Structure 1
């Protein structure tokens, strides 16, 4: 069975949906993809241009979601979210103190973990969507890579490589936002608060994809170290 190539943005983004060749060159950039020679782990959710990714099974997706929820990158996201919320006294409105910062950090961890697990471990297997992020890499322009990374919030690939709406991420983030009603302060337990949390979660997903796109080498090294 042939392995899927790295997906590229759908035509709605004004970008080709044809997978890039392993030796495709960005015209005028002088940059060229090395051949795909490295086979990834079944639990890797970040695939760079040099890697060949096996088709993920349902159990692989369960493992990806659980692994990502306790990764160092996840912790960085929790800290960033809690720090932003604390600095500008934004939702969840626990107040501004060391104790309240701890509450914000716990809430950020609970929200992000629930979103990731529902998206990757539960909904992606049911809908046969591929939850991994396939890096475009430096063989493309920065504008293209930025557009591609942000588009992954709304678009993804199915297990057989077809483009589709990223229902898994959207619904997982919606569920995670809804669950905040059980542990956010009373003032944030309303429809407006839930919608705001959902929007912030989607923005956070976009930032995460941008980081993975432009710093995938560092991210890949961290993933490699996490295996040992």
Structure 2
């Protein structure tokens, strides 16, 4: 009898163990190893090919001064002035400039009123478009220079300002070396000379061309300063919400 009870107890225990085991969750399976995806930077640096073509403000995108980016292709160099030309500010800015020129009667030959404003406007807009393409696109492609702006991002205000203004005369080439900014000088000079073809006689000639050339260099230097400090402004004022072309 005792032997029978022991056998029955063992059988019952075995059945209970199997029942409990069937109610327990399966052992966790190891998660499949996720495939490592390495993001290859675009040839022009960063994700410039994914940036919007139409923007509110011109291309103020920057790279870091320590970055060693792949050389730009010709199409990437031409995309910089294209984005600038298609920005909202590129449409609004010539309108204000044209209005100021009309009010001050800078070129009486162009007249006043809606027709006069139109004559001022297309000339002012063409000034900006030609200078953008020649400085940031055409001549960088011809001279093998890098049209991207490499920001310091750190340092004192005056040091960074001096660095930014100097970029009107210093630029990187496609090999990553700093060289004289031939693209800026030749581009601004060409744009100033080209304007003689569509401005009235009083706004043409060597002296006016030289003045226009100097203003182009000065405005471009200020643009470099804007690019230097734009990341700070975007981060502190807009909390990084505004995106630009480059």
| Distance (Å, rounded) in 2 between the aligned partners of 1:191 and 1:41 | 39
**8 Å CA contact retained: 1:86, 1:101:** yes
1:40 aligns with 2:47: yes
Q: TM (normalized to structure 1)?
A: 0.68
Paired residues, number: 189
Q: Higher Cα Rg: structure 1 or 2?
A: 2
1:69 aligns with 2:69: no
| Distance (Å, rounded) in 2 between the aligned partners of 1:154 and 1:184 | 28
| Distance (Å, rounded) in 2 between the aligned partners of 1:54 and 1:210 | 24
The structural deviation recorded for 1:177 is 0.8
The structural deviation recorded for 1:199 is 1.1
- In the alignment, which of 67, 72, 80 is matched to residue 56 of structure 1? 72
Structure 1 counterpart of 2:196: 181
Q: 1:153 to 1:76 in 2, by over 3 A?
A: farther
| Distance (Å, rounded) in 2 between the aligned partners of 1:136 and 1:85 | 37
**8 Å CA contact retained: 2:188, 2:217:** yes
Q: 1:91 to 1:191 in 2, by over 3 A?
A: farther
**8 Å CA contact retained: 1:128, 1:158:** yes
Return 5+ residue gaps in structure 1 as ranges: 4-37
Structure 2 counterpart of 1:10: none
The structural deviation recorded for 1:65 is 2.5
Q: TM (normalized to structure 2)?
A: 0.64
1:145 aligns with 2:165: no
Q: Compare the two structures and name the one with the higher helix fraction.
A: 2
The structural deviation recorded for 1:89 is 4.8
The structural deviation recorded for 1:39 is 2.7
Structure 1 counterpart of 2:98: 82
Q: What CA deviation, in whole Å up to 9, does each residue of 1:47-91 have, x standing for no partner?
A: 144996543112211222322222234335434543554565557
| Distance (Å, rounded) in 2 between the aligned partners of 1:77 and 1:208 | 14
Structure 1 counterpart of 2:143: 127
